[in-house]
Structure 1
Amino acid sequence: MSKKYYWIKLKESFFSDLRIKKLRKLAGGDTFTIIFQKIMLLSLSTNGVIVYQGIESNLSKELALIMDEDEDNVQLTLSYLKQTNILIEEDENNYNIPLISELTGTETDWAKKKREYRKRQNEDNVLTMSDKRREEIELEREKYAKLNQILLDKQITKDKKREKVLNQYIGESTC
């Protein structure tokens, strides 16, 4: 069975979001922000849903156990996330982070290999030319085109002279 990879795409504005700014300004806010990101990672495969399994007496203790974080820090983070509607309690066992669905990407192991294979197939092994090099090539083409035209004109002139001489010779010999 192939593996499935998930990832979170943090928006450029993640740290400038007022809710995250406020979280970071709290005492221990950087730790809370990391805990929030760990919670997001835990909920990737379930599209933002965190399921309380009842292993511990409450969700914060269970998440602290899963994430190897301090229970108090997890509790404060969860309280803040609920207060700011980043985390929504659907029922006593399910919590949802609606933001996750728009930040999540997924790919199977096979899709990753196929994408990498296509990328290798499309790679051009020839060095790309700079615009300056293209201009030089274009100038060379123009130069050779002019030279060819000059040579062609000279050949046409020679041919006309030969034809004229031939016509004169033919004309004198028939007389």
Structure 2
Amino acid sequence: MANKKFFWIKLKQDFFNDPYIKLLRRMAGGDTYTIIYLEMLVKSASTDGMLYFQGAGQDIAEELSLILDENVEDVRALLAYLEAKKLITHPEIKEDVFLVASADLTGSETDSAMRMRKFRERQMLQGNGQASLSYADVTDRYDKKEIEIEIEIDKETDIDIDKELDIKTDLETDKQKLENKQSSVVTNSKALLLKALQDNGIFISPQSIAFDNLVAFYEDDGMEIELIIKAIEVANESGKNNVNYVNGILNNKLSRSILTLEQYEKDEQSWQKKQSTKKTEKDLTPEQAKWLADRQRKREQHATS
């Protein structure tokens, strides 16, 4: 069973009394900026306070406006304010944003921990069972048999949780063994991709979704690392130093089941040959073009006979 993790932000009682927030709200459109700021905090809760630029927009402001469904100028004005007040930083890449307040406001809990916490809360309530029963004798609101059944159900639940934890431990052990076998290959492949990106003027964070999407061509689609690196080099040679252009090349090849560098080069040679043929045909006179077409037709008829 997958062990999900839930995240949330928890505002302190004096959040809106913070001088930076009060100043933000006094600005023209400040209430809107405050809401967008809260949306950004929620969005960053599961990424340790980071908002990664994926390349969907021209910059992080445009991209956040699309993700949060907010006006781009409002987002841009908010980012300028937050940067001026040092409430955001850019740890590695200029477009990636780290929200300084996120660490103090973010909470998280796994679903198994949540179930265990609720189970312990029920146990604590049952610890006060004598008082509840004596009250039930007077008011007739609770039935002793029902309480005993509920306690028995909770005992079974406790056993189920223990079994689930044992199964989860076994699965995690098997998963860890598999990951240990694959880690050296995967890590080396990611390092090669990151170096190729940097060597060709494409700078993205190895923790970004854009980089994960690029790695997915290798891990999920089965493409050779050499082919992905070739696409990065082609993008640089074309003056398109961005991940979106690289993705476009790879998606085009993937749609035609081209997964290796050898297949890529053969495909490029075939395309160059077709282009050369088209150029030659343009230079022919009408008579020469007709003769060439007749010759090609006779060759095809001979091949099928």
2:121 corresponds, among 119, 125, 143, to 119
Inter-CA distance 70–116: structure 2 relative to 1 (3 Å threshold): same
Distance 2:11 2:32 in 1: 17
Query: Any stretches of 5+ residues in structure 2 without a counterpart?
Result: 135-305
Residue aligned with 1:31, SS: helix
Q: CA deviation at 1:89?
A: 2.0
Residue aligned with 2:12, SS: coil
Distance 1:77 1:128 in 2: 57
By relative contact order (CA 8 Å, sep 6+), the higher-ranking structure is 1
Write 1 or 2 for the structure with the bigger share of helix.
2
2:100 corresponds, among 88, 98, 101, to 98
Does structure 2 retain, via aligned residues, the 8 Å contact 1:53–1:93? no
Distance 1:52 1:117 in 2: 41
Q: Which residue of 1 aligns with 2:15?
A: 14
Residue aligned with 1:6, SS: strand
Inter-CA distance 120–81: structure 2 relative to 1 (3 Å threshold): same
Does structure 2 retain, via aligned residues, the 8 Å contact 1:55–1:62? yes
Q: Which residue of 2 aligns with 1:44?
A: 45
Residue aligned with 1:116, SS: helix
Q: CA deviation at 1:117?
A: 0.9
- State the Cα deviation string for residues 11-67 of structure 1 (Å, max 9, x = none): 122111111001001111111000000000111111111111111101011001001
Q: Which residue of 1 aligns with 2:109?
A: 107
Q: CA deviation at 1:8?
A: 1.2
Q: CA deviation at 1:110?
A: 1.0
Does structure 1 retain, via aligned residues, the 8 Å contact 2:52–2:96? yes
Q: CA deviation at 1:127?
A: 4.0
CA RMSD of aligned residues (A): 1.7
Distance 1:67 1:51 in 2: 14
Q: CA deviation at 1:93?
A: 3.4
The amino acid of 1:56's aligned partner reads G
Q: Give the 5 Å matches for 1:20-169.
A: 20-90=21-91, 91-123=93-125, 124-125=128-129, 126-127=131-132
Does structure 1 retain, via aligned residues, the 8 Å contact 2:53–2:60? yes
Distance 1:128 1:52 in 2: 59
Distance 1:40 1:16 in 2: 18
Distance 2:26 2:101 in 1: 21
Distance 1:128 1:19 in 2: 53
The amino acid of 1:106's aligned partner reads S
Compare 32-41 and 98-107 and name the one that shifted more. Answer: 98-107
Does structure 1 retain, via aligned residues, the 8 Å contact 2:59–2:95? no
Write 1 or 2 for the structure with the bigger share of strand.
1
- State the Cα deviation string for residues 87-129 of structure 1 (Å, max 9, x = none): 1122223211122112211101111111111101110233499
Residue aligned with 1:63, SS: helix
Does structure 1 retain, via aligned residues, the 8 Å contact 2:37–2:78? yes
Does structure 1 retain, via aligned residues, the 8 Å contact 2:60–2:96? no
Number of residue-to-residue matches in the alignment:
129
Residue aligned with 2:35, SS: helix
Inter-CA distance 7–128: structure 2 relative to 1 (3 Å threshold): farther
The amino acid of 1:22's aligned partner reads L
